[in-house]
Chain A
Amino acid sequence: MEIRPILSAMMRNRSGVLLVGLQIAITLAVAANAAFIIQQRLEKIGRPSGVDAANMFYVYSYGYSPSYDSKPTLAADLDTLRRLPGVLAASSTNGMLLSGGGSANSYQASANTKAPQIPGNYFEIGEQGLNALGVKLVAGRNFRADELTYSGLDNLFPKQIIVTRTMAKALFGDERVVGRLVYSPTGDAAEIIGVTQNMMGSWVDNRHPENVVFHPILQRGARLTYMVRTEPGRRDELMARAEKALSKPGDGRFVVWVHSQEHYIKNSYRSDRRMVVFLWTMICLMVGVTALGIVGLATFLVNARRKQIGTRRAIGARRIDIVRYFMVENGLLTAFGVIAGAGLSFLFSYWLSNMFALPPLKLRFVLWGIAALLLLGQMAVFIPARRAAAVPPALATRTV
């Protein structure tokens, strides 16, 4: 391979080579980091919710009449919802999964006020709450009807709780947790009576999204939210029927909205999806511009060297030798670019980590980027190289 003479020739055309090399380096740095962020976002979007999201919906009603009484309304509503054919379970709740709004508390494994406080996103549910979510118990038992209380400041911390597997582990490690007591920061104690499989909580960007705790508490007040799980494929039909069933004229309240669980999931990841599309578009544009830069430089070099190419052909170069010359030259140019770009990628990642608390870039994204850019370079230069190979050897004897 004639690498040294090609390098020598490249060094005499420094400005174009440097510009395109720099363009390749910047493209690699941006594309590798963008691809890494895309992968993180896709992983985030692809996280399982842990609940039967496809068959779940929420109904929110507001009581406005002075005669409105939430306790009998709640009991009647739950009875109505549970009687609808196709409904598997219904419960009141204080929050919706991945809705961006919910309740949180700190939990401790011991009464010692200096014990580590584990943040937990708690849901106040009834005895059908776990079933309405489609969440299975992996240990212990469900709430009994006699354990349910009504929400209010005086009984915020319940006597029994159920936790997710992740929350159990956060509190007690790998020890058995059913029957253990957990404490609020104010010293109130609750017994863990069950452990469920993992599920997401209310906040999509929560650092501990699966630290979920269930409290056996029914809602009261003007605002009541119900979560309902249906037989597969009947959700949309039952959303309409549930709204109609709870909208009785003259009962002093109205149904404000009915939303599916998927509605919240879709909304909660909207910004992530937009970011993915934006970053993909940016990568495509940068790669496209870089490819054009490579084609442009190669075309310029071919045009500027037509006489030289003719001479090379005249003194014995085959067409394939000319194609190979430009491919090798481009390979070297891209190699310079990606070597510089690899360093730049990690510098850029370091800056992003400091500025936006992102995890450090993984090496494999840089390696994939290098491979992609080397391939792109070879593809981009192929047509100009073929054009160069078509330069006739007789051009060597022409004086113009």
Chain B
Amino acid sequence: MLEMQNVVKIYRTDLIETHALRDFNLRVADGEFVAVTGPSGSGKTTFLNVAGLLEGFESGSYRLDGKNIGELDDDARSRTRNQKIGFIFQSFNLIPDLDVFDNIDVPLRYRGFNAAERRRRIERVLELVGLASRARHVPSQLSGGQQQRVAIARALAGEPRFLLADEPTGNLDSLMARQIMDLLEEINSRGTTIIMVTHDPELANRAHRNVHVMDGQVTDFHAFESPLAAAV
């Protein structure tokens, strides 16, 4: 369960203050697939950053799996990101110097798994995303869709409770975008909670619930077929 109440996030410079999130309220139940939409500058990515513990916040309450995030120090936030959250970025964010296997290995090493366990997990997620034969390819040898699959594999290898996706199909053509969405739906069907920031209404419509953000606040909810949405 992810629960934000009255979360405020302000970016400050010497001259101006920007209120990126204003009394932001959102609850995401376990197993949900939530799409977060909104125009540019509305606060979608800031929400994702705060939800993913990439940034702190000024006030309000944020609980992730019952844990009060505001009380965590930097190391604890890193550990929580590593153990509970998987990230999928718009531009994949693979490490260009490492091959597919080693890219997926990075968070597992931070987690402290032994080599055998890491190998088992990497082989499993590579099978899941259909890239088992590309384990020793470097990112530059892969298509955009394949790179995003690697990023998804990296996010899934640690078996996170939450998958946060920031425009996961933003850099892909429509065919690859559909394939990625199919994969995300499959992952969600296995029980992983997914929160996806997107501009694309078509992709948003494939989520259980669509949260619209405007001026740093949730302005609208659209529940789709998911019975989970009704419970929220």
Contacts and interface: CB of A to CB of B under 8 A. Distances in A.
Interface size class of B (residues with CB under 8 A): 35 or more
Interface stretch (A2-10, A194-202, A283-291): A2-10
Interface string A301-320: 00000011001111111111
Interface size class of A (residues with CB under 8 A): 20 to 34
Interface stretch (A225-233, A253-261, A373-381, A391-399): A391-399
The A interface, classified by DSSP as helix, strand, loop or mixed, is: helix
Interface string B125-150: 00000000000000000000000000
Nearest to B170: A399
A319 B154 CA distance: 20
B87 A315 contact: yes
A312 B53 CA distance: 13
Interface string B101-125: 0100111011100000000000000
Given A315-B81, A315-B154, A5 B93 contact: no
B32 interface: no
B150 to A, nearest CB: 13
Interface in B84-103: 86-87, 89-91, 93, 95-99, 102
B34 interface: no
A9 B98 contact: yes
A111 B100 CA distance: 87
Most buried by A among B90, B98, B105: B98
Given A316-B111, A321-B110, A9 B97 contact: yes
A395 to B, nearest CB: 9
A397 B45 contact: yes
Interface string A84-108: 0000000000000000000000000
A13 interface: yes
A390 to B, nearest CB: 11
Contacts of B75: 318-320
Given A308-B95, A399-B90, A2 B81 contact: no
A8 B110 contact: no
A308 B98 CA distance: 11
Interface of A: 2, 4-5, 8-9, 12-13, 307-308, 311-321, 392-394, 396-397, 399
Given A308-B93, A393-B81, 20 more contacts: A5-B98, A5-B102, A9-B98, A13-B97, A308-B95, A308-B96, A311-B89, A311-B95, A315-B82, A315-B87, A315-B106, A315-B107, A316-B78, A317-B82, A318-B74, A319-B74, A321-B110, A392-B54, A396-B87, A396-B89
